[in-house]
């Protein structure tokens, strides 16, 4: 008789053999630091981009139910009105996470008769949401407007276009102005996942579409409260009828517990701050880091707060990350399936928490790592 879990254990063994095994690490985060095994490290893996100082959470009942049963705390309507205003849309809806927001939205509005056009580097939540919808899926080459148009021209019926604002693993920006021209030309429904652009780009942090001056060409926004804003949750913004459709058909909204009211109030407090001050300080640090990377000739295609150092080999990326850790820098090795095979990288995130002195120190360590691992040679 074969072992009950033999095939599963074999699968895990194969993951380990390919240097793709992940393990959870107990940690505690405070501002620009992360503590792992009692060692205090500079945290270059945080998505808390603006680095807004934490305020105390006022305790409100943590749990009741699904929002359609008895969990629709009054804090939701206040937060959702503010988010709709932030994105210049009629209505918004808050989900427990950004991942659930993508799953809930796309599976609610796209059908088997429709076609979704999705950038090849879109986040896993978009990939899974497209599959869940049952729609025909056409992947266009990353940020390739010509490839997108060629594929659109050959397609009949209702069409959706989905892209990210700032891509989560490459840190480059969507060619949103050009993409919106194609979308408008062919009457497509345009969805922007702005998880990494929201609160970071545009006037008052209104996001990527605001930066490119195409806000009126985006039909639906999906975004996160857990990144630039430094709180928790995800949300969708759009026309009232589309949001009402999500409320009535989105399984990741209907069949899950509501976020605690205290979290909503925490998000609302942050939305009401002078975030532009934090945003400008962040961009000074982003620009400084990119400038110093250029000076040490460490190549990256990023122009944002997300900066990938491409290593290639998975084992080498793990060793690179370990070297940084020994020298007081926490920056994780990102491997397949998060990125393509043989495209392993160190993903660096610049946040407002980091000082110029700490950025300078990290550059010194990266320069040593570059020499040790023969990068860009």
What phi and psi values does residue 296 have, to the nearest 5 degrees?
A: -95, 5
Structure confidence at residue 1 as a pLDDT band (50, 70, 90): low
Residue 285 maps to a domain = yes
User: Which residues lie closer than 8 Å to 71 by C-beta, 6 or more apart?
Assistant: 63, 64, 65, 257, 258
Residue 61 maps to a domain = no
Q: Which two tokens stand for residue 305?
A: 């707060």
Question: Domain boundary at 271, 305, 334, which?
Answer: 271
Model pLDDT, residue 60: 67
Structure confidence at residue 377 as a pLDDT band (50, 70, 90): low
Mean pLDDT on 102-123: 96
Model pLDDT, residue 171: 95
Residue 59 maps to a domain = no
Residues 83 and 173 reside in one and the same domain: yes
User: Domain containing 297 — which CATH number?
Assistant: 3.90.1150.10
Residue 131 clears pLDDT 90, i.e. is over it: yes
Residues 160 and 132 reside in one and the same domain: yes
Residues 44 and 129 reside in one and the same domain: no
Question: Domain boundary at 251, 271, 291, which?
Answer: 271
Residues 134 and 235 reside in one and the same domain: yes
- pLDDT tens for residues 273-288? 999 999 999 999 999 9
Residues 284 and 249 reside in one and the same domain: no
Mean pLDDT on 175-191: 97
Collapsing DSSP states into helix, strand and coil, what is residue 357?
helix
Domain of residue 285 covers 6-52+275-372
User: Domain containing 116 — which CATH number?
Assistant: 3.40.640.10
- pLDDT tens for residues 312-331? 999 999 999 999 999 999 99
Query: Left (φ > 0), alpha (ψ -120 to 50) or beta: where does 30 sit?
Result: beta
**Whose CA is closest to 163, among 117, 132, 124?**
117
- Provide the number of structural domains found in the chain: 2
Q: Give the up-direction half-sphere exposure of residue 190: CA atoms within 13 A in the CB hemisphere.
A: 23
Residue 188 clears pLDDT 80, i.e. is over it: yes
Model pLDDT, residue 312: 94
Model pLDDT, residue 200: 97
Residues 166 and 294 reside in one and the same domain: no
Collapsing DSSP states into helix, strand and coil, what is residue 130?
helix
Residues 41 and 119 reside in one and the same domain: no
Residue 11 maps to a domain = yes
The mean pLDDT value of the chain amounts to 94
Spatial distance between the Cα atoms of 276 and 278, rounded to a whole number of angstroms: 5
Residues 133 and 226 reside in one and the same domain: yes
Residue 58 clears pLDDT 80, i.e. is over it: no
Structure confidence at residue 299 as a pLDDT band (50, 70, 90): confident
């Amino acid at each position: 008789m074969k072992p009950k879990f033999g095939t599963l254990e074999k699968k895990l063994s194969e993951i380990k053999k390919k240097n793709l095994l992940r393990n959870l690490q107990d940690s505690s985060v405070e501002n620009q630091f992360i503590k792992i095994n009692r060692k205090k490290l500079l945290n270059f893996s945080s998505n808390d981009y603006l680095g807004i100082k934490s305020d105390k959470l006022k305790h409100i009942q943590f749990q009741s139910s699904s929002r359609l049963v008895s969990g629709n705390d009054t804090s939701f309507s206040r937060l959702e009105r503010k988010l709709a205003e932030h994105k210049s849309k009629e209505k918004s809806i808050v989900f427990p996470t950004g991942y659930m927001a993508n799953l809930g939205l796309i599976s609610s509005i796209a059908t088997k008769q429709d076609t979704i056009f999705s950038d090849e580097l879109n986040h896993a939540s978009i990939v899974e949401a497209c599959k869940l919808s049952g729609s025909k899926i056409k992947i266009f080459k990353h940020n390739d407007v010509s490839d997108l148009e060629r594929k659109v021209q050959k397609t009949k019926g209702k069409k959706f276009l989905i892209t990210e604002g700032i891509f989560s693993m490459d840190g480059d920006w969507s060619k949103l102005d050009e993409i919106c021209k194609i979308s408008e030309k062919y009457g497509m429904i345009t969805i922007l996942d702005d998880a990494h652009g929201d609160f970071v780009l545009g006037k008052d942090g209104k996001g990527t579409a605001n930066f490119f001056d195409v806000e009126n060409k985006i039909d639906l926004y999906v975004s996160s409260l857990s990144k630039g804003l430094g709180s928790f949750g995800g949300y969708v913004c759009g026309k009232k009828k589309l949001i009402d459709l999500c409320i009535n058909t989105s399984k990741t909204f209907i069949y899950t517990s509501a976020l605690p009211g205290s979290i909503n109030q925490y998000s609302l407090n942050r939305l009401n701050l002078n975030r532009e001050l934090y945003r400008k300080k962040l961009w000074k640090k982003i620009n400084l880091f990119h400038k110093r990377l250029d000076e040490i000739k460490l190549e990256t295609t990023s122009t944002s707060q997300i900066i990938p150092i491409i290593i290639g080999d998975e084992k080498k990326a793990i060793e690179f990350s370990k070297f940084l850790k020994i020298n007081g820098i926490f920056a994780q090795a990102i491997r397949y399936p998060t990125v393509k095979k043989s495209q392993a990288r160190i993903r660096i995130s610049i946040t407002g928490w980091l000082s110029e002195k700490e950025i300078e120190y990290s550059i010194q360590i990266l320069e040593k790592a570059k020499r040790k691992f023969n990068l860009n040679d």
